Amino acid sequence: MLLITLNENTLSLSPGSQVIFPHQTWEDYQRLLSLRLQKTYPKLYFNRKTQEIRLMSPLPSHGKRINLLSDLVKIILRRQGKDWECFDPITLKIPGEAGVEPDTCFYIDNRQAILGKERIDLTVDPPPDLAIEVDFTSLTDVEAYQLLKIPELWVYRREELKIYLFREDGYQESENSRLFPDINIKKLLPYYVELGWNQGSSLALRQFEALEN
């Protein structure tokens, strides 16, 4: 059962639910962010083009899959000798344009630009190199990410990983990752995410780490 509480002092949404408010402004989005106070849920998204605000409150199963995906990416980065900064939770926004809250995101190539910063401001700071969303109870608004020009977006849904690469004319779905071109990300990661879901995270991560480079 959907349960949403929205008044001048409170914002909450029952787990596993999504609500879409049409005909909304940036000011409406900012107000909802302030009502949420210091909580991380419900997640809030704004898209200037659609004039929609989306509220999403995930289930525990959502969190397990995103943790697995994040850990798998970190294994790859360690194996390649790359440094990174990972953020979760985080609100990424450009005033008047869009606001998103990815399940997790990585600064890799742009890592140095955000070291030591308490807040990331996309009007002056670069966006993360990679954002990841798990669609379990809702659908990711890819266009909102496009407005923020995030170079690479992964969306995981129903054991399938979609990769979106940002070009001059917007996102294009791709079979390969720009960050990890030599790895079959679309095949490998869903397999180990579901292995972790069914047989345990530690087992799946150990098996992934044991793969030959």
Residues 6+ apart with CB under 8 A from 189: 69, 72, 156, 161
Please provide the average confidence, as pLDDT, over all residues in the chain: 92
Structure-derived torsion over alpha carbons of residues 25, 146, 191, 185, reported in degrees to the nearest 10: -160
Question: Is the model's pLDDT at 121 over the cut of 60?
Answer: yes
pLDDT score of 11: 78
Domains along the sequence of the chain with CATH: 60-209 (3.90.1570.10)
Give the residue-averaged pLDDT of 154-158: 95
List helix spans (H) across the chain: 26-35, 60-79, 142-147, 185-199, 201-209
For residues 50, 54, 59, 61, the Cα torsion angle rounded to the nearest 10 degrees is: 30
Which range (2-11, 41-50, 170-179) has the least confidence?
2-11
The token pair at 175 is 């079979």
User: How many residues in total does the chain contain?
Assistant: 213
pLDDT at position 81 over 90: yes
Q: 24-61 pLDDT, tens per residue? A: 999 999 999 998 877 778 899 999 999 999 999 887 77
Q: Is the confidence at residue 12, as pLDDT, over 80?
A: no
Structural contact between residues 107 and 179, judged by C-beta atoms closer than 8 angstroms: no
Q: Which two tokens stand for residue 117?
A: 């910063």
What global pTM score does this model have? 0.92
Task: State residue 180's pLDDT score.
Answer: 98
